[in-house]
Structure 1
Amino acid sequence: MSIWLVFFLTSAGLRLPASIAQGTPNCTDDTEHAIYAGEAIKQLQAVADTSTQVEIRSLQAKLAMISASDAGFQARLVPIVNLYERCSLRLEETKKQFRDRTSNVIIDLEQGTAAAAALEAMAMMQIDTDVGKTISAANKFIKIKPAAGKTGIPTKYCPLSEYIKQAQPPAKAAAARTEWKLDLKTIEQDPAAASDHTSTAAMCCAAGASCGEGSSDAAQLAVKGGKLFKSATSATDKTVGKPAGKTSKQWATATKQMAEQIAHADAHIATALAQTGISDTNCNPWQSHSDAELQLDVYRLIYKKPTATKISPVEATSIAQKVKELYGSSEEEFDNLIWNSVKSTQVPKKEDPSGGKTQELKDVTDRNRLNDLIQTSRSKTSVEEVQKVEDAKSTMRKKKLEAQK
């Protein structure tokens, strides 16, 4: 691996292969580049992993259906469970597309972050002013040091994979995506004339005298201080990061193309974070009277035709009204007709899996916890069904024995 590539990656805090990366991650006092990229990744992950109301309701309805002892209540929940599951599948597909769409721009932002951090570190460096060194003395080297108030090349190693795991992110993290705006600029070597002491690193004879052979001043050399690079004008016209009025953060890029890559990735991420996915409105039973699959489920329920594949023409004209009567025309009606019973279903508390202590299902909103409860309820139901069969067999045997007496 090129030493420059290693430098670019480590400057921004990106992970290196195990054969290259050494040392313990140190995520204190990260560079602003790493913070900006890390917070973007965290927010994108949060969007992709967020459990929406419809997903939670889907699991709650399924758990209530499995747990219910009232067969009629169970039957009325079947169409609701199916509706919510269809919505959850669509939502999961939307999330998958979201992850696929954003993975490449995350890579682009990471690459740009690494390069910008490395280039900024280089741009901070300057040649140190060193006057009065004699030619006859021991060899002297031109010194390169950080510019005033700068720290130079970052020495901390914090992979972004470690950054996003931090329980306590840096203080600057809260403002990174909401208050910062990227100002992308290219850097270039300073082309100023050698006489420009303020911006050019140059070596010349002391006091501007002749450096010619035999000159009395030729024994004195001076190194004039100056930056190695200077920033050019903005490298891109794209809208980057957040709108005007936010804090401008200057990032150094080597080329206009690199700036465009960062700008595109940043703008794409901002757009992705503004998306809401599938609206829960599409999945509300009280607003889905015309949903064909919900109508078919209700038809099967009401007319006791569990294997029906279509609604008969006679009932087709009134089935929407049947759905409305069963589940209501508003959220309040839906709650009163069925959902309040779902919410009040008693389930074991997490800290007491034996079931001695319970809580209402409305208070369980963690997706993993709901899935665990569903699996537990299914296992319990299976055991109970087996026991019923065994009890029935035992009863039959007793009857046969009595009949033989």
Structure 2
Amino acid sequence: MNNIEFDRQHIWHPYTSATNPLPCYEVASAKGVTLTLADGTELIDGMSSWWAAVHGYNHPALNSAAHQQIDTMSHVMFGGITHQPAIDVSKQLLAMLPDGLDRVFLADSGSVSVEVAIKMAVQYWAAQGQPNKHKLLSPRNGYHGDTFAAMSVCDPVNGMHSVFNQVLKPQIFAPSPQTRFESTWNEDEMLPVIELFEQHHHELAAVILEPVVQGAGGMRMYHKQYLKRMRQLCDEYNVLLICDEIATGFGRTGQLFGCNHADVVPDIICLGKALTGGYLTMAATVCSNDVALGICEGSPGVFMHGPTYMGNPLACAVANASLTLINQNHWPQQVVQIETQLNAELSECRGLSIVKDVRVLGAIGVVETQQALDVAQLQKHFVKHGVWIRPFGKLVYIMPPYVITPQQLSRLTYAILHTLKHFS
């Protein structure tokens, strides 16, 4: 049995059927923005390994950090122990984040960081003597992860988790943001949101949203004023604001963090993906001192969460190297160049009958089709074009590494245009 057949019969991949799994392509190595398959085929990666590998693959600075740390200490429990990599990465994070975010909780993955944020919000209000404030408000078309509390704040109808609705905690959902990022703001879209605050503020612990770009829930790019108004409403109605920046953080939208577009400071922020440059699983939930100290005012007096791999030294060391690269500040020029090129080259897709919409923000390019397409057939065509693009539903999108060259990016956009022409 060869590797691919063994994989097909015994390994379960994400969002894939066990009876009829999507085809898998065996990767032998990766460097820069290129994936090399086992048969020698080279593919330009348009996905940054699900938006994480912003510096590309096999980066010497990240490799060096991993080698040095693994020779010293790959892991140690974080209960009652601290270490230099955790201190270093926390210092860098706090220096990068908006003022007012002061307390770092190092978690395992993006979904876990959302769980931690939700627990922080609920425990905060319980400690303040308001245990009735335990629900979350979330805009529709949002996506926050695949664990249970995270699933509960994903879109219950259009999201990926409707099969679990009977066992998820019921939350409150606002209409999804409607005004596009580049359009003139329409204040009327806040009217139903204001009504929800008026009706439910007594039971709302927090609002959770993805700033400016809704990711896996639809790759929708919305107006910064929506975010600003949400902050104002949270302040007015005494509700915490959680910004899920797992996908949008570290420059992807053209600002260091999505909330920077609106000059908004959340009470809690969730970070992941690009944090380690795609090398190791790691995330962070960072909150204000008011939230941290408020949680510890009541019983039990401590925050009730503690992952086994919290503060993993190896992940912290690589994350520290990744943040150092980001702080060298090449990403703003890289992202602007990617955005300009995506706007120019993806615009040709608008003339295809199969295409419903084309949208670009920062290093994110999205082509939305009229109907969902066959992912396996799309990927087969993309591989023939020498690129790796992973569509889902009606969305063919790319979020390439920041280090991609204009020539490599053109290979991606050319592949999208000509593949969609084939399906038109």
Please give the TM-score of this superposition, normalised by the length of structure 1. Answer: 0.24
Q: Scaled by the length of structure 2, what TM-score is found?
A: 0.23
Computing the radius of gyration over CA atoms, which structure comes out larger, 1 or 2? Answer: 1
